[in-house]
């Protein structure tokens, strides 16, 4: 089955700096790669996703890049703000497309 590795597990940045989180996946048939943000005591919430037919997608301060050949994808957050502090999860769908496999998460701390 699919295996998704995520790093770093923790990331501390100064407000205004950029943050990058990287993930690798194992199943070459995966074609959907969402990123979720989870705040304390809440369920994960989708922040951006990318499909395998594009290499990059951007939404305001958030961007995701995908390298299908190398089977890795990354989340980029620019001009970080304290409210960006949370745990971020990458995910990839399985061969049948009916479930997501999540990475282990990255705890992002943005210091004011």
Please report, as ranges, the residues that interact with another protein according to CB under 8 A: 4, 6, 31-32, 34, 36, 41-46, 49, 89, 91, 93-94, 96-105
Cβ partners under 8 Å of residue 41, min gap 6? none
Looking only at the bridges linking them, the beta strands covering 86-93 and 100-102 are: antiparallel
Looking only at the bridges linking them, the beta strands covering 10-14 and 45-51 are: unpaired
Nearest distance from C-beta of residue 24 to another protein, angstroms: 14
Nearest distance from C-beta of residue 45 to another protein, angstroms: 7
Nearest distance from C-beta of residue 108 to another protein, angstroms: 14
CB nearer to another protein: pick between 32 and 68: 32
- Please name which of 28, 108, 105 lies closest in space to residue 72, comparing C-alpha atoms: 28
CB nearer to another protein: pick between 18 and 26: 26
């Amino acid at each position: 089955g699919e295996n998704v590795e995520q790093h770093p597990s923790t990331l501390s940045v100064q407000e205004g700096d950029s943050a990058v989180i990287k993930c690798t996946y194992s199943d070459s048939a995966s074609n959907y790669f969402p990123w979720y943000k989870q705040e304390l005591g809440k369920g994960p919430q989708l922040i951006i996703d990318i499909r395998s037919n594009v290499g990059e997608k951007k939404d305001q301060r958030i961007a995701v890049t995908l390298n299908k050949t190398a089977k890795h994808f990354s989340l980029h957050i620019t001009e970080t703000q304290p409210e960006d502090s949370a745990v971020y999860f990458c995910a990839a769908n399985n061969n049948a497309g009916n479930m997501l496999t999540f990475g282990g998460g990255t705890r992002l701390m943005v210091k004011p």
